[in-house]
Chain A
C-alpha cells in the first residue's frame, strides 16, 4: 500500500515541480493573493474589542441588538459622530448641541433649536440610561435607538439633511471610512450612522447619584431632608407609580393635566386615537435637577413649578391620569421632595471623560 502512495506522491510532486518550474511567479502571486484574501473577512472581527457595559447594582441588563453588540470601535465612531456637526445641513450643529454632557445630555432651553435657529416643538430629553428605554420620542413612535438616531438628522427643524447626503460627506473623510470599515465592515451609510450613534448612546449610564449610593448602604449619602423627600416620593404619594424602577419611569404614556387643550397632542399624534391626546412618555427623573425647564414643551421653568402643578392637581382633561389629584403638600414637604429629586443628580455621569 505504501508503495502505491509513494508512486502517487512522486507523480503528484513531479507535476507540482513542473508547474512551479513553468510558472514560479504566477504561483507566488497566487499564494499571496490567497493569503491576503483569507485575512480580510476576519479583519474587522480581529481588530474590534468587545465593550462590557458596566451595569450599576439594581439595574437589569439592557437588551442590545445582535447586529449592534457593543465594541470600543463602534462606540468611538458613534461618539465622533455625536459631536460632529457634519451631520447637519449647514454643518453648524451636532447631536451634542442639544444633548450637553453637563446637562445630563439634555439642555436648558424650553424648546430645542435646530439649524438656522429653527425652533423645534419639544423640550430636549436627557439621554441618561436610554439603553433601557423600550421606545423613543415622546409619543413612543421609534422602536429602537437605531431608528431614533436618524430622526433628528432628517428632521427639517433640527439637522435637516438626508441620511444619504450625510453618509456621502462621511465617505469623503478617510477617518470615517476607516472607522466604519473596522466597526461595521462597510462604507459609511445609514446603517453605520444609525448603529454607531446608538452604540455610543447605550453606554451613557447614570447610576451613581447620592440616592444610588444611599441604596447601596452609604447612610450618609442623603441628607435628612432628602430622606424625608424619598419617603414622600415612594411611600406617601403616588409619584413612584409612574416614576418607578431603577430608571424612575414605567415608560407608559400619561396625560398629566398640563392643559385643557393640547396644542401638541402627544401620543395621539402617532395613534390618531382621541384617548391618547395629551399623553406623553413618562420621563426618567434621573438627573432631573439638571434639566430645567420641564414637561414636553418646557413650559414649567423649575422643579418648584412642576411640584406646584402636581400639588394643584393640574387642569381638567378627559384623558388626565386618575393618579393626578391635588396633593395639598406643605411648603416643607415640597422642599423635601425637591431635595430628594436633587439627590438623583449623578456627578460621575456628567463628568465621565469616556462620554466627552
Chain B
C-alpha cells in the first residue's frame, strides 16, 4: 500500500498524569487522525488544482490582472466548490477533535486534578501567581478552537484543557511530532548542539511553554542547565510540571508569568531564550514589548531563537500565503497572519541582535516513531506540516 497511514494513537507515550482513554475514545482519535490525513493528502491538493485551473484564470479574465494580495485570493477561492468542501471538512475535523478530547478529560476532570496534585507533592517545580492577569490577547480568542483556551480553569486545581491539549495534538499533527509530541523541541535542541558545540548554557528560558512539550527535550539535551518555562495558563503549567515530574525530568521549572512583563527575572539572567510556536499567539503591540523583555533578561552574548511558521514574503506565492493564512481565521489563531507579515530581522533588533547577526534556518521535526511513518515525501499541509522556520541570533556581547 503506497498510502501513508498515520501512527495509531496508542503510540502516544502515556505518563502518570495522562488522562485515561477507553477503547472507543482511542478509536475516535484514530478515526480523526486518518480523516485528517485523507483530507490533507487527497482533498486539499484539489485547492491548488482549482486555483490554477479556474480560480486564477477566471479572476484574470474578469479583472484583466492577477491577484493583488492573499485576501483577494481568499475572496475568489471562497466561491469555489472544491475549496468550500475542503474548508468545511477541515473546520469540522477541528471541532470534532476538540469535542472528542474534551469529552474524555471533562468526565475525569476531578481525578486528573488529584493525580496532578499528587504528582507535585513535595515538588517545587511549579510556581503559580494568584494575582496573575492573563494577557488580553489570550482571553480575546480561544486559540485552535479550544473552548476556554490555555488559561481557563473550571474549578480550582483544574487541568482539563491542558490534558485535552496533550492528548489531541497527536491527532491534529497526524503523529508527525513523535511519541511525546516534542518533535519541535527535539529539533531545536539537536540543531543548537550540533551548530554550537561549545555553547554550554546554564540557564534557559522557554517563553509560552504551554505544558512543556518542547521545553522538556531542551532540558534533556542540556541536563546541566536550569530550564524555566513560563506561560499564562495555570492549567498548562500545573499539568506540565506534573508531566515533567512523571517523565523523570528534574531540571525544569514551570512559572506563571507574562512574557511582556517578566519582572520575576532579573536583567541578563538567561543564556538562551527560546520560543516555540508562540509568537503568532501573541498580539500586535505585545509582541514588541515581549521582544524588549527578551532583550532585558537575555545575557549579553546570549542566544535567542524562535520556532515559527515561515514568514509571508514577496517570494511566497499569494496562493501559499492564502493557504497558510487559513488557520488565522478558521482555526482561531487570528494574530497568525499579521505576525507572519512582520520582518523577523527587525524583531530581532528589538531583542538586541544586530541585523548582520540575524539568522534563519528551516528545521524538520525529529520524530521517534516508526521510520516508515515519517520518511518520504511530506504532503504540504500549510501550517500543519512538521517543518518550521527558525529565526534568531546572538545578542551583542557588549552594551
The finding on whether chains A and B are genuine partners in a shared complex, rather than unrelated, reads no
**Which B residues are closer than 8 A to A by beta carbons?**
none
**Which A residues are closer than 8 A to B by beta carbons?**
none
